[in-house]
Amino acid sequence: MKEIKFSLVYRDMWQSSGKYVPRKDQLEKIAPVIIEMGCFSRVETNGGASEQVNLLFGENPNEAVRIFTKPFNEAGIQTHMLDRGLNGLRMNPVPADIRELMYKVKKSQGVDITRIFCGLNDVRNIIPSIRYAKAAGMIPQATMCITYSEVHNVEYYVNMSEQLIAAGAEEICLKDMAGVGRPDMLGKIVRSIKTNHPEIVVQYHGHSGPGFSMASMLEVAKAGADYLDVAMEPLSWGMVHPDVISVQAMLKDAGFKVPEINMSAYMEARRLSQSFIDDFLGYFIDDRNKLMTSLLVGCGLPGGMMGSLMADLKGVHAGINSYLKSNNKKELSTDELLVMLFDEVKYIWPKLGNPPLVTPFSQYVKNIALMNVMFMVKGQPRWSMIDRNSWDMILGKAGKLPGKLDQEIIDLAIKNKFEFYEGNPQDNYPNELDRFIKEMAENGWDRGQDDEELFEFAMHEKQYRDFKSGEAKKRFNAELEAAIKEKYSTQQVQMPDIRQLKYPNAEPVVAPVSGRIIWELDYTERSSEPVHGKLFKESENFCTLQTRYGLEHINSFCTGRVVAVEKRQGEIVQKGEVIAYLEKK
């Protein structure tokens, strides 16, 4: 009888639902209850964007990780983290010396396993992390981002797994981030790995968004998988993961050996998680992420980014309909525009080299598609606007694309005099740790236990500075206040009296004309205001107003950081109204 073990992806449960994760005091409460449930061999405690999120609401992430991992370490439950390979724990590439330090720090904090992935499935971005993790005493779980295309077939993934195992990977994870991996294909991949390498541990991570995940779990279990990632109420299903209760029942009926669930503890963990939602986390959870949708099958976008996608779509929708109305054309419904966007993603994805649609590349493809739709509705050509980050992906600076670029894209790059890069992506980012060590010494900042504060500063420089200055906490309070206001306004009930936060050192950015706000498109998964906290240089483009006569670009009047945003994407601003506040640096 084959034994299947369960891993609770507690970190991902929150980050596939909303923007923030529980505070350290809340994590300390939930950990012993998760242990008491008795059904989990592994728990995902940190990684991905979670530690950056801690900084964003003014909390020390190192303390949070240590507090959360400690009870699991003592109970013999393995802890694991999500690791973006070349990008470490952030959205952009990390120098090698900082990447190497990460594993030493995380091992000392009680993290056993690191799940290393590259958003492009470029093994060159994963292999160094395998070495670093082993040297630090961690278990390197090399990860393949699962998607579905002519390029991404069984042979593609089997070949990738062979390269990762040859490089020293002790475990392989199939990260089905959008849940679009077809069950039969996934079963064949796992069966091949376990046939060729029976000693290799295989773990499956499948989001439930488009509806394949339960069938996929059964197929990979039959093929020899060892661990399945699961969730639990109140944050299961929807765009998250299947619930452990359903998965256990399915596998038990199929003849697998699975652990029993202490249902009293399950209900207590459920109650506690709901209390965290009611406390403050619920204000940042998009209700759309609680639902599944088969629309994701065609476009392949991960469900976790639906919140930001719909926020972007809302702004573009208003702009498009304003244009159509002024030109006496039929306006589009939100559903019509959503289908247009999904169709455009499906069309441009192979032309862009089939990058796996996972953070940050899912955002880049979505952004290009969104701009294409907007321009084409107005009778302008496709590819009229491609942002710098998307060009870096196209040009190979982040790694090798799985598929071939369409000649149309190559010609566009040549026209713009851009150069393609074929070298190792890490070579573009020289070591930087000495700079951070020097500055911490000059500031009198403690490098922390096992250099954990040094690591945090080097990994999340801007967010760490804001954390140390107290600016992050102030900004979070303002964001929470705005979120509470919005909720009570939507529900049309009386809002409790909330302290109004002031910005005495900031100056307003005022609209010179009337128009509709267009902010820079969002490169994070669920950030409602991408410019919040951003540093602008004097005369740098700040935002754009869509007016009746065209686009009016507004430049920053000083070098400063955004401390408050008054107008959201797609909102109408009247001449003389405040758009945002800049604090001079």
The β-bridge partners of 174 are 144, 204
Same domain assignment for residues 510 and 419: no
Task: Tell me, yes or no, whether 194 lies in a domain.
Answer: no
Domain boundary among 403, 425, 447: 425
Cα within 13 Å of Cα(184), Cβ side: 0
Same domain assignment for residues 316 and 405: yes
Q: Which of 22-31, 490-499, 540-549 has the highest mean pLDDT?
A: 22-31
**Which phi and psi angles does 200 have, rounded to 5°?**
-80, 130
Q: Are 483 and 283 in contact (CB under 8 A)?
A: yes
Domain boundary among 425, 448, 483: 425
Over range 493-522, report the average pLDDT.
66
Number of domains in the chain: 2
pLDDT surpassing 80 at residue 487: no
The strand order across the sheet containing 550-555 reads 550-555, 541-547, 515-518, 572-573
| pLDDT given at position 455 | 98
Return the beta strands (E) in 18-102 as ranges. 40-47, 78-83
When pLDDT is cut at 50, 70 and 90, the band that residue 528 belongs to is very low
Task: Tell me, yes or no, whether 407 lies in a domain.
Answer: yes
Over range 124-141, report the average pLDDT.
98
Q: Which of 323-327, 448-452, 558-562 has the highest mean pLDDT?
A: 448-452
d(CA 232, CA 105): 29
| pLDDT given at position 391 | 94
Task: Tell me, yes or no, whether 343 lies in a domain.
Answer: yes
The β-bridge partners of 564 are 581
Task: Tell me, yes or no, whether 251 lies in a domain.
Answer: no
Lowest-pLDDT choice from 220-224, 313-317, 511-515? 313-317
Give the contacts of 527 (CB within 8 A, at least 6 positions apart): 19, 308
Domain boundary among 401, 425, 449: 425
| pLDDT given at position 530 | 55
pLDDT above 70 covers a percentage of the chain that reads: 93
Query: pLDDT of 354-373, one tens digit each?
Result: 999 888 899 899 989 988 99
Lowest-pLDDT choice from 64-78, 272-286, 290-304? 290-304
Same domain assignment for residues 294 and 419: yes
Same domain assignment for residues 406 and 523: no
pLDDT surpassing 50 at residue 496: no
| pLDDT given at position 34 | 98
When pLDDT is cut at 50, 70 and 90, the band that residue 307 belongs to is low
Over range 531-551, report the average pLDDT.
83
Burial per residue of 119-144, b for 16 or more beta-carbon CB atoms within 10 angstroms, e otherwise: bbbbbbbbbbbbebbeebebbbbbbb
Task: Tell me, yes or no, whether 522 lies in a domain.
Answer: yes
Same domain assignment for residues 421 and 506: no
Same domain assignment for residues 398 and 513: no
DSSP-derived pairing of the beta strands 5-8 and 171-176: unpaired
Same domain assignment for residues 513 and 405: no
pLDDT surpassing 80 at residue 393: yes
pLDDT surpassing 70 at residue 390: yes
Lowest-pLDDT choice from 148-157, 367-376, 512-521? 512-521
- Grouping H, G, I as helix, E, B as strand and the rest as coil, residue 497 is coil
Over range 266-292, report the average pLDDT.
90
The strand order across the sheet containing 560-565 reads 506-510, 578-584, 560-565, 535-536
Over range 330-342, report the average pLDDT.
87
Within 10 Å of residue 431's Cβ, how many Cβ atoms? 12
Query: pLDDT of 418-427, one tens digit each?
Result: 999 999 999 9
Same domain assignment for residues 297 and 421: yes
Same domain assignment for residues 401 and 506: no
The pLDDT mean for the chain works out to 90
CATH, residue 540? 2.40.50.100
When pLDDT is cut at 50, 70 and 90, the band that residue 495 belongs to is very low
Task: Tell me, yes or no, whether 458 lies in a domain.
Answer: no
**DSSP structural state of residue 3:** B
Same domain assignment for residues 509 and 413: no
pLDDT surpassing 50 at residue 65: yes
User: Alpha carbon of 578 to those of 421, 480, 552, 565: distances in Å?
Assistant: 42, 20, 16, 9
Same domain assignment for residues 396 and 506: no
Write out the residue range of the structural domain in which residue 346 sits. 290-425
Query: pLDDT of 96-120, one tens digit each?
Result: 999 999 999 999 999 999 999 999 9
d(CA 15, CA 10): 9
- Grouping H, G, I as helix, E, B as strand and the rest as coil, residue 115 is strand
Task: Tell me, yes or no, whether 351 lies in a domain.
Answer: yes
Question: What angle (nearest 5°) sits at the alpha carbon of residue 240, between those of residues 184 and 51?
Answer: 120
Which is more confidently placed, 11 or 317?
Answer: 11
When pLDDT is cut at 50, 70 and 90, the band that residue 308 belongs to is low
pLDDT surpassing 90 at residue 407: yes
| pLDDT given at position 27 | 97
Task: Tell me, yes or no, whether 510 lies in a domain.
Answer: yes
